[in-house]
Chain A
Amino acid sequence: MMSCLILERPGKWRGIGIFAGLLLALAPSLALLFSLGHPTASSPAPVFTTVFINALSRSLAVALAVAIFSVAIGLPTGVMAGLYQFVLRRTLLALLALPLLVPSFITAIGLSMVRVALGLRPNGLFSGFTGTVLAFVTFGTPLVSFITLASVRGISRSQVDAARLAGGERHLAWCVARSVLPLAALTGVLAGVLTLSDPGPGQIFGHTGAASEILVSFASQYDFALAARQCLALAGVVFFAGLPVAAFLAPRLATGLLARDVTPAPLARVRWAEMCGPMLLSALLLGTVILPLAGFVQPLFRSVPAERALQEVGRTVGNTAFYGIVASLLATMLGVTLAICSGRDAKLRATLLVGLILLFALPPSLGALGWIQLAGASPAQLDPVFRGPLTVSLALALRFFPFATIFALRGLGTASPSWSSVAAIHGVSLWTFGRKVLAPWLRPAILTSALLILLLATADVSSVLLLHPPGKSSLPLAIFTVMANAPESLVGALCVAYVGGAALLLGAGLLASRSFRRKP
């Protein structure tokens, strides 16, 4: 009988497990890297052409702007929502999560439709550099807001009381903002880094970046080798930009995740916050949710191509659900396994988190092109793994499992180490302990991360575009494919259908999380 003590004791298996997990996630990218090491018959096209370097600098400018704006807006929002109670706080915050679950190109479509509807200049606010930055900020700002909010709620009640006693609300807000600024800033940088790999908004607003160049090389020029090398070049930039962020962020995140729950300060009711809170969050929702939504809905006032939209949704909903559900299951299993491997060792956790942050920041097309490389080298018997719908799910699972790992780490961090000690004393087997104690304890974390990954995997376009088998498109990919040529009303209807579906899933998830909320 395997003792439950294995869960709390150090062991070589922990490091090996983490290494194997990260290697598995990196395997397709490594396959791509090794394939480029082989000499080819024809001389390869150069990577660092003027076009690519210009695209890369445009991408970096967008990333910088997104990081700055996301922190400038997200930090005060997170501090406000973390310290104060105001009308509709929970509802407004739940709605603010919506842009995180919608592909950035869908937001960009909405904003570009607003520009058309308002008759703005093609090179004005909702186009080019500003349009691209705006579309990404709708994702970056909620991300920074929520991370800031979580950090503020991690400050103990006594610390908040002490700051309040020392200098009142202004002093408290200043102290709290200063304390969470490093994490908020790093999250902003991460949001900026993530934009480097996303071609969507840039293509829509005519401000193409490095990620778009990779798509062009692969899908228009059919030059796999060039796309792969461009992808590696971009990955190199992302890696070196992301490494200091990950190295700085990971130990703090590891400590936070390892900590047992603190008693957060109750949300205070002060007059100015009761006024400013709803206004700030409403303004944010206006920019991130309502404005893009107005863009989709506006063409529907002229005509509603319901039949065509339903046909398109019906054609793709099964594939979309398959990709999302299987990816969510696989990512959750891998995430929980890695979290168990890292245990309570702060160093192992920090190492794992550095790996996870870097993996997530790498361009999704890097892994996808790696899968294509593996498919080319694998025998026909392995087609279901390398060339089928499962390939898409596998690629998505390996992209999004960092979320599952972080949720599972948090869940395990809140469990008492003496639970397994007492189980060992009473001779409870590891299997029974896992089934009756650990799994139910982790259930809220597992379900939340599974839902989040389901939504994120559903929203992905980059991996699905490169890997989906013929005729097995997902709904976001269908929108991405038809957006340039189909009537505005059809694109609008499809976007509304997608956002509505994401909102429904989010609502269902929130309701489920309430019913699963643990008692103290």
Chain B
Amino acid sequence: MNALIQVQDLGQSSDGHVVFQSVSFTVLAGQHLALLGSSGCGKSTLLRLIAGLDAPVRGRIWLAGQLVSDNGRILIPPHQRGLAMVFQDLALWPTLSALENVLLGMAQSHWSRRQQKERATEALTRCKVGELAARKPGTLSIGQQQRVALARAIAGRPQLLLLDEPFSSLDPLLREELMTEVRRLAGEINATLVLVTHDVLEALALAQRAIVLEDARLAESGELVSVLAAPRSRLLRQCAAQIGRLRSG
């Protein structure tokens, strides 16, 4: 399989403070990745660099074999990277209806207006909010808003779907339901997921591989099950210990 994401010696800093440095990893197409780490370790920053929203201070990023960011420069803008992103606050445009949110998200597609509308409606239906197309985000429940945000993300059929802790504000039942939906949708559109989370259980539900950021460095990476079996980072050691206690208790 081809490498979908290749990150080499990536470093980022903000206001003179090093967020992380020397981060390198590769993600193959179809191999969902979890970006793990405690709060403030730079997980979302790394996701923004992959999306092209910020330029890395140093290092390079390739997407599908194409160099997209290189040492402080964004070579390919976000909308030409073939990806979509679901933000932690969902970032639904509150002045537009659910359908208009999805339609505006397809602004760069080469489809006709009619095709765009068909695809937007289809995306909303796939995410089980087709009947809410005319409603504005402010009138929807948090779960429905999550589904609209997902519909906007998948409508353009991205090869890479970036998820920035989108389930953090949900109750466990709704979270489980939506994670199942995301897995199904990613399979349907053949997209690779990159999930930012600090919750190992969430990562286990969605991803096969994991990388862990700790102390401004890449602490470990590999198959999620393997790294959990022999954790090196504090975060995963603590999680493994908790899982062990639960099993024994």
For the complex, what is the distance from the CA of A226 to the CA of B108, rounded to whole Å?
Answer: 63
Q: Which of B124-138 contact A (CB under 8 A)?
A: 136, 138
In the assembled complex, A117 has its CB within 8 A of some CB on chain B: no
Q: Which residues of B contact A156 (CB under 8 A)?
A: none
B105 A421 Cβ-Cβ under 8 A = no
Known: A425-B78, A518-B94, A519-B136. A432 touches B53 (CB 8 A): no
How many A-B residue contacts, CB cutoff 8 Å? Answer: 78
CB distance from B83 to the nearest CB of A (A): 7
Whether A426 pairs with B91 at a CB distance below 8 angstroms is: no
B108 touches A426 (CB 8 A): yes
Residue contact B91 to A418, C-beta cutoff 8 Å: yes
| B88 neighbours in A (Cβ, 8 Å) | 418
Q: Which residues in chain B, 57-115, are within 8 Å of chain A measured between CB atoms?
A: 77-80, 83-85, 87-89, 91, 93-96, 100, 104-108
Q: Does B37 contact A (CB under 8 A)?
A: no
Contacts of B105 in A (CB 8 A): 422, 426, 428
Whether A428 contacts B51 by the Cβ 8 Å rule is no
CB of B22 within 8 Å of the partner chain: no
| B80 contacts across to A, CB distance below 8 A | 427
Chain A residues with CB below 8 A from B100, complex form: 436
| Nearest CB on A from B77, distance (A) | 6
* Given A428-B107, A519-B136, A519-B139: A419 in contact with B93 (beta carbons within 8 A): yes
Residues of chain A with a CB closer than 8 A to B85's CB: 421-422, 425
- Partner of B93 from A5, A437, A518 at Cβ < 8 Å: A437
Interface majority SS on A: helix, strand, loop or mixed?
A: helix
Decide if A515 is an interface residue (CB 8 Å cutoff).
Answer: no
Q: Does A416 contact B (CB under 8 A)?
A: yes
B224 smallest CB distance to A (angstroms): 26
B53 to A: closest C-beta gap in Å = 5
User: Which residues of B sit under 8 angstroms from A422, Cβ to Cβ?
Assistant: 85, 87, 91, 105, 152
Rounded to whole angstroms, the CA-CA distance of A241 and B1 in the bound complex is 71
Residues of A within 8 Å of B51, CB to CB, are 421, 425
- State whether the Cβ of B156 lies closer than 8 Å to any Cβ in chain A: yes
- Give the residue name and chain of the A residue nearest to B53 (CB): A421
A469 beta carbon closer than 8 Å to chain B: no
A417 smallest CB distance to B (angstroms): 9
Q: In the bound complex, do residue A425 and residue B53 qualify as a contact, i.e. CB atoms below 8 Å apart?
A: yes
A22 at interface by CB-CB < 8 Å: no
Q: Check B104–A424 contact: CB distance below 8 A.
A: no
Whether a CB of chain B sits under 8 angstroms from the CB of A429 is yes
Give the complex CA separation of A518 and B53 in angstroms. 29
Q: Are B83's CB and A425's CB within 8 A?
A: yes
**In the bound complex, do residue A427 and residue B79 qualify as a contact, i.e. CB atoms below 8 Å apart?**
yes
Interface residues in A367-421 by Cβ distance below 8 A to B read 416, 418-419, 421
Query: What interface size band does chain A fall in?
Result: 20 to 34
B87 and A424 contacting across the interface, CB-CB below 8 Å = no
Check B95–A425 contact: CB distance below 8 A: no
Known A418-B87, A519-B136; judge A424-B79 contact (CB<8 A): yes
Docked-complex contact B53 and A424, CB < 8 angstroms? yes
A168 located at the interface, meaning its Cβ lies under 8 Å from any Cβ of chain B in the complex: no
Residues B84 and A436 in contact, CB atoms below 8 Å apart: no
Which residue of chain A is the closest to B86 with respect to CB atoms? A422
Pick from B53, B107, B139: contact of A427, CB below 8 A: B107
A427–B95 contact, CB under 8 A?
Answer: no
CB within 8 Å for A436 and B96 given contacts A422-B85, A422-B87, A425-B85: yes
A82 to chain B, nearest CB (A): 25
CB distance from B46 to the nearest CB of A (A): 15
**Which B residues touch A436, using CB under 8 A?**
93, 95-96, 100, 104
- CB pair B91–A416 under 8 Å, yes or no, is yes
CB distance A441 to B104 under 8 Å? no
Contact of B79 among A416, A425, A437, A520 (CB under 8 A): A425
Q: Smallest Cβ distance from B66 to chain A, in angstroms?
A: 17
Q: Which residues of A contact B94 (CB under 8 A)?
A: 441, 518-519
Residues of B within 8 A of A426 (CB): 79, 84, 104-108, 152, 156
- Additional A-B contacts beyond A416-B91, A424-B52, A519-B94 (18; CB < 8 A): A421-B48, A421-B87, A421-B91, A422-B105, A423-B93, A424-B53, A425-B84, A426-B104, A426-B156, A427-B79, A427-B80, A427-B107, A428-B104, A428-B107, A429-B107, A436-B95, A437-B96, A519-B139
Residue contacts A-B, CB under 8 angstroms, 21 given: A418-B91, A421-B85, A422-B152, A423-B104, A424-B78, A424-B79, A425-B52, A425-B53, A425-B78, A426-B84, A426-B104, A426-B106, A426-B107, A426-B156, A427-B80, A428-B108, A436-B95, A436-B104, A518-B94, A519-B139, A520-B138
* Leading 7 A-B pairs by shortest Cβ distance: A427-B108, A427-B79, A519-B138, A418-B91, A440-B95, A422-B91, A426-B105
